[in-house]
């Protein structure tokens, strides 16, 4: 009886403790090693992350827009492997890409949306079909002129500068897959820059990250992105010094795995 | 000045010492990214052959980065102990490797010699050594440091508890730390990487860690790994600081991209030293800096001066040893595959970093880790962990189940730490081991209950 009370008390305390952190604490042990369940859960979470990194973008996805409204180009990296080892190539458009973009995309628009696979095509597949139609809808309400959106395969954040050089929009918004962690492989980031040009750095960009169902839900993120664009347009600037925080604080990362 | 060698009748020429250093490196994707790596295996080995003939004096007399443009180069030359250097200056790198492996510089002889070895000499030496050489040579060097306990003695393996939290929830951090303590981890430091860099947040974490250590009377030190200026601002507002942390690199420009300078580091160390003496506490020693480094960081900041990442890493240790650190570790797989592509490169870099740091007199630990876009996994981390424990590494990271939920990478776990201690017959730091025996640290409830009471209303 005393043992049972002690065990219940221990279990209760462990539950209370684990509610305070998503860290994998107080897991069952096999001697000083992980119990089988823990070992396989870790392997499973890593497997999802690895597959997300190596997954190719699905060319046939329409991302929630009407059929044929998006087209795809490539960065200067020619394979996923080269992309992972040569970040410099992922930051510029291939020559073919430039030749395709120039005739298809109007220049000098208020806002240019671009989608990039980044380190998780899975994040793009899961979040973009929800966030992109909402972004175009809200941007239209703001009466901004919109560029023709397109998709870049093997894309790094720095490609924003090359797009700014080529199309000269006021604001580029790049929706790009984040590096997968064990907790989620579906997290998307939105990088925003006012009149980006070659040589600009992260200091001239703003970021809304952690966009996924258990982070910042895509529809809420779309509102935040629109707010940030309007601040940039009125300040005629972006990056350090531009406050893009909204009326409500954004939700914190999920408290529990 | 050009260097040359001949391999099976084929002659290879290297236009200068920097090029020779780069070509003689083991394969690293970061050197390839910088466009300075060997383009064939023959060229790589030919460079090693030519490098083996270079004397230590030649290396010191031909700085790879001009002292006029780089304060790290200046400081390295100013601090060189000429008497110690005179003992070895006429040796070639090949001869120096032979003597070192033959055990000519054991114990006190090595301690005397360490200040006569420049980072570039250490880097050149490593290019001539196999992985096993690096393990064997490092295993004979003990660099012992003291703060609130003693780390680095023979037979000791210390562990940093790394209880990071994605929202910097102090209760979550402390409870996560307790899990590590029950495994006998936390003797190196209880060190938190904050998610935010605000003075308020960092102060709250420092006060929380201090209460944990005080309440449980743990003979260890805490640290919040924010930018040094944030930590010093927290100190000014009354937060307690045991270890002062900063990431450092091997060039003035790279350090500048981190927002630090040599004078800022010295000023910070002095402030925290005075703060230690003002606290009513029995300090075991005055070693109080904690530095993290990693191959590739200078290139990543476009501050590499065309040098290879191994040599730049050695120079980061040249920076670290100016400031009498308590802990130094490279974060060897964190930077990503563009600098260290796969398991083989990460393992090599981990062994290189550990040996170079030890040779230069540093209390080297290692964050054995990888990101999910590198060609590595937890089995790779297991492998490097075993190799570095065999090499006598001072400490490793203890992360709950190796999954850092704030930084989003995988390191080594409390379980891994316990496994290494058992496998190699190692103990925690002596003061900490004695505390564990007193407290019966294996009883989770005894440790967690007071902390849970202390934090549950936060």
Which of these, B253, B257, B259, B263, lies nearest to B315 by C-alpha position? B253
Q: What is the ipTM of this complex?
A: 0.92
Residue A252, pLDDT above cutoff 60 = no
Instruction: Tell me: pLDDT of B266 over 50.
Output: yes
| pTM attached to this predicted model | 0.92
Q: Mean pLDDT throughout B375-394? A: 98
The C-alpha of B127 sits at a distance from chain A's nearest C-alpha, in angstroms, of 23
- Residue A7 lies inside a defined structural domain of this protein: no
What is d(CA B296, CA B338) in angstroms, rounded to the nearest whole number?
A: 9
Structure confidence at residue A18 (pLDDT): 85
If you count DSSP H runs as helices and E runs as strands, how many of each does chain A have, helices first? 8, 8
Predicted pLDDT at A253: 46
* Alpha-carbon gap, residue B301 to B255, rounded angstroms: 9
Contact (CB, 8 A) for B328 and B304:
no
| pLDDT level of residue A256 (50, 70, 90 thresholds) | very low
Residues on chain A touching B415 (C-beta within 8 angstroms): 29, 32-34
* Chain B residue with the nearest C-alpha to that of A43: B378
Residues in CB range of A143: below 8 A, 6 or more apart:
none
Count of positions (residues) in chain B: 458
Once rounded to an integer, what is the mean pLDDT over residues B420-429? 97
- Residue A41 in any domain: the answer is no
**pLDDT range class, residue B454, cuts 50, 70, 90:** low
Q: How high is the pLDDT of residue A60?
A: 64
pLDDT in tens, A79-118: 999 999 999 999 999 999 999 999 999 999 999 999 999 9
Q: Does A46 map to a domain?
A: no
User: Residue A199's domain is classified under what CATH number?
Assistant: 3.40.50.11240
Please count the structural domains in chain A. Answer: 1
pLDDT of res. B268: 98
User: How far apart are alpha carbons B26 and B44 in whole angstroms?
Assistant: 8
pLDDT interval class at A145 (50, 70, 90): very high
**Is A252 within a domain?**
no
In a mutagenesis test of the A interface, which of B201, B335, B340, B415 is the best target, namely the one with the most A β-carbons within 10 Å?
Answer: B415
Which one, of B319, B228, B312, B222, lies nearest residue B269 by Cα?
B228
Put simply, the answer to whether B372 touches A49 (Cβ < 8 Å) is: yes
pLDDT for A167-225, tens place per residue? 999 999 999 999 999 988 999 999 999 999 999 988 899 999 889 988 889 999 999 99
Q: What is the pLDDT of residues B121-164, one digit of tens each?
A: 999 999 999 999 999 999 999 999 999 999 999 999 999 999 99
Please tell me the least confidently modeled range out of A161-170, A236-245, B163-172, B206-215.
A236-245
pLDDT at B456 over 70: no
Asked if B292 and B331 count as a contact pair (C-beta separation under 8 A), the reply is: yes
How far B34 CA sits from the closest chain A CA (Å)? 10
- Residue B445 predicted with pLDDT over 70: no
Q: Is residue A13 situated within a structural domain?
A: no
Pick the most confident of A236-240, B124-128, B177-181.
Answer: B124-128
When pLDDT is averaged across residues B361-373 and rounded to a whole number, the result is: 97
Q: Which residue of B has its CA nearest to A10?
A: B445
pLDDT band, residue B458 (cuts 50/70/90): very low
pLDDT at B71: 97
Cross-chain Cβ contact A34/B401 below 8 Å: yes
pLDDT digits (tens, 9 = 90+) for B275-300: 999 999 989 999 999 999 999 999 98
In a domain, A27, yes or no: no
Question: Beta strands of A155-204 (E only): which ranges?
Answer: 171-177, 188-194
Per the domain annotation, does A82 fall within a domain?
yes
Name the minimum distance, in Å, from the CA of A55 to any CA of chain B. 11
Burial tier of B354 (Cβ tally within 10 Å: 0-12, 13-18, 19+):
buried
Q: pLDDT tens-digit profile of A6-56?
A: 667 777 878 888 888 899 998 988 999 999 999 999 999 999 999 999 999
Contact A183 B449 (CB under 8 A): no
Number of Cβ atoms within 10 Å of the Cβ of B80? 17
Under an 8 A CB cutoff, do A24 and B403 touch?
yes
Do the domain assignments include residue A35? no
User: Residue B265: CB partners within 8 Å, gap ≥ 6?
Assistant: B228, B246, B248, B289, B319, B322, B323
Three-class DSSP category at B396: strand
Please tell me which residue of chain B has the smallest CA distance to A119: B373
Nearest to A25 among B29, B175, B409 (CB): B175
Q: Which residues of B touch A181 (CB under 8 A)?
A: 372, 405, 408-409
- Per-residue pLDDT band at B218 (split at 50, 70, 90): very high
| Domain span at A126 | 54-241
Optimal mutation site among B166, B302, B458, interface A, most CBs of chain A within 10 A: B166
Of A16, A85, A181, the CB nearest to B29: A85
Nearest to B401 among A38, A179, A181 (CB): A38
Q: What is the structure's pLDDT at A254?
A: 43
B contact set with A (CB within 8 A): 29, 32-33, 163-167, 169, 171-173, 175-176, 178-179, 183, 337-338, 341, 371-373, 377-378, 400-403, 405, 408-410, 415, 418-419, 422, 444-445, 448-449, 452, 456
Name the closest residue on chain A to residue B183, using Cα atoms. Answer: A32
């Amino acid at each position: 009886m005393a043992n049972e009370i002690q065990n219940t008390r221990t279990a209760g305390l462990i539950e209370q403790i684990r509610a305070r952190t998503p860290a994998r604490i107080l897991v069952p042990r096999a001697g000083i090693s992980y119990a089988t369940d823990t070992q396989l859960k870790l392997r499973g979470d890593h497997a999802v992350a690895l597959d997300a990194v190596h997954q190719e973008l699905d060319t046939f996805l329409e991302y929630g827009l009407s059929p044929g409204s998006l087209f795809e180009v490539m960065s200067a990296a020619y394979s996923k492997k080269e992309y992972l080892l040569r970040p410099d190539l992922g930051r510029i458009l291939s020559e073919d890409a430039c030749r395709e973009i120039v005739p298809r995309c109007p220049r000098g628009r208020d806002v240019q949306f671009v989608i990039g696979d980044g380190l998780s095509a899975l994040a793009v597949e899961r979040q973009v079909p929800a966030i992109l139609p909402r972004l175009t809808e809200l941007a239209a309400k703001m009466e901004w002129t919109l560029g023709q959106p397109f998709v870049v395969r093997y894309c790094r954040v720095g490609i924003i500068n090359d797009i700014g050089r080529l199309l000269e929009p006021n604001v580029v918004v790049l929706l790009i897959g984040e590096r997968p962690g064990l907790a989620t492989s579906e997290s998307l980031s939105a990088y925003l820059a006012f009149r980006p040009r070659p040589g600009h750095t992260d200091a001239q960009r703003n970021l809304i990250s952690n966009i996924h169902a258990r982070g910042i839900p895509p529809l809420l993120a779309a509102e935040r992105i629109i707010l940030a664009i309007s601040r940039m347009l009125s300040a005629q600037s972006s990056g350090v010094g531009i406050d893009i925080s909204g009326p409500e604080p954004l939700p914190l990362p999920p408290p529990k795995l | 000045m050009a260097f040359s060698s001949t391999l099976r009748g084929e002659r290879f020429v290297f236009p200068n010492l920097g090029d020779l250093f780069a070509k003689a490196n083991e394969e690293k994707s970061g050197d390839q990214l910088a466009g300075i790596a060997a383009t064939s295996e023959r060229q790589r080995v030919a460079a090693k052959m030519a490098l083996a003939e270079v004397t230590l004096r030649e290396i010191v007399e031909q700085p790879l980065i001009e002292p006029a443009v780089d304060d790290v180069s200046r400081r390295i030359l100013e601090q060189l102990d000429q008497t110690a250097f005179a003992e070895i200056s006429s040796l070639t790198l090949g001869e120096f490797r032979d003597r070192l492996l033959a055990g000519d510089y054991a114990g006190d002889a090595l301690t005397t010699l360490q200040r006569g070895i420049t980072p570039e000499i250490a880097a050149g030496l490593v290019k001539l050594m196999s992985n096993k050489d690096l393990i064997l040579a490092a295993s004979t060097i003990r660099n012992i440091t003291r703060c609130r306990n003693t780390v680095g003695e023979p037979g000791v393996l210390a562990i940093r508890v790394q209880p990071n939290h994605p929202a910097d929830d102090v209760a979550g951090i402390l409870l996560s730390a307790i899990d590590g303590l029950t495994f006998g981890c936390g003797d190196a430091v209880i060190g938190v990487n904050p998610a935010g860099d605000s003075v308020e947040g960092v102060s709250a974490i420092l006060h929380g860690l201090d209460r944990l250590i005080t309440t449980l009377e743990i003979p260890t030190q805490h640290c919040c790994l924010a930018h040094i200026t944030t930590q010093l601002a927290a100190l000014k507002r009354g937060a307690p600081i045991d270890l002062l942390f900063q990431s450092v690199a091997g060039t003035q420009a790279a350090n500048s991209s981190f927002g630090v300078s040599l004078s800022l580091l010295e000023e910070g160390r002095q402030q925290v030293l005075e703060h230690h003496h003002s606290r009513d506490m029995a300090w075991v020693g005055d070693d109080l800096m904690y530095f993290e480094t990693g191959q590739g960081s200078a290139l990543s900041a476009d501050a590499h001066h065309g040098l290879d990442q191994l040599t730049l890493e050695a120079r980061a240790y040249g920076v670290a040893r100016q400031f009498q650190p308590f802990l130094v570790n490279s974060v060897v797989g964190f930077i990503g595959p563009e600098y260290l592509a796969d398991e083989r490169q990460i393992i090599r870099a981990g062994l290189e970093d550990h040996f170079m740091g030890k040779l230069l007199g540093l209390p080297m630990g290692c964050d054995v880790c990888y990101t999910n876009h590198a060609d590595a996994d937890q089995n790779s981390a297991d492998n490097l962990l075993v190799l570095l424990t065999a090499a006598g590494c001072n400490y490793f990271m203890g992360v709950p189940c190796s999954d850092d939920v704030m930084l989003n990478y995988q390191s080594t776990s409390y379980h891994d730490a316990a496994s290494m201690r058992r496998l190699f017959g190692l103990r925690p730091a002596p003061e900490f081991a004695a505390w564990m025996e007193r407290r019966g640290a294996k009883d989770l409830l005894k440790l967690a209950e007071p902390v849970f009471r202390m934090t549950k209303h936060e």
